[in-house]
Amino acid sequence: MRRAFLTALTLVTSLAVAGTLQAANQQEVQQLLTTGECSGCNLAGADLTNAHLIGADLRNANLQGTNLSNANLEGADLTGANMTGANLSASIVINTDLRQANLNNVNFASAKIYDSNVYAASMDGLQLANADIYSTDIAVGGEGAIEDPWQ
């Protein structure tokens, strides 16, 4: 019985530590909100609802599962960012650099996506209900841009 208890305790502790490693680094969240600079940061699962991230540097950041609903990402650089499962509903994505980003299962419902570069981005399972998309190579079925228009 004692062995089973210790095994269960070890398992629960391991899962808690693994979950903590995947969670957003709060210092990096504060850095982003204060400076707009957070290249390579771990912001997974962070609540950035209504955040003003105009021109933010989020290259290669981990934004997996992050809530960016109603956020303003105008001119932000998200090149190579992992945004799997992020919520960008009703967000502003204008002149945003999303090259080589992982956009799988991102919720763009009611978002305004204009003049953004999605060259070589992974876009499977996008949610685009009521999204306004102009001059951005996002299409139903996850097809991305064929050529990099910014090169």
pLDDT at residue 91, rounded to an integer: 98
Query: Which pLDDT does position 118 carry in this prediction?
Result: 97
> Can you tell me the distance from the alpha carbon of 48 to that of 29, in angstroms, rounded to the nearest whole number?
8
Please give the average per-residue pLDDT across 89-94, as a whole number: 98
Set out the domains of the chain in order of their start, with CATH numbers: 26-145 (2.160.20.80)
Distance of CA 53 to the CA centre of its chain: 12
Give the pLDDT score at 23: 82
The b-or-e profile of 105-141 (16+ CB within 10 A means b, else e) is bbbbbbbbbbebbbbebbbeebbbeebebeebbbeee
- Compute the mean pLDDT over every residue in the chain, rounded to the nearest whole number: 85
Q: Quote the CA–CA distance of 62 and 84 in Å, as a whole number.
A: 9
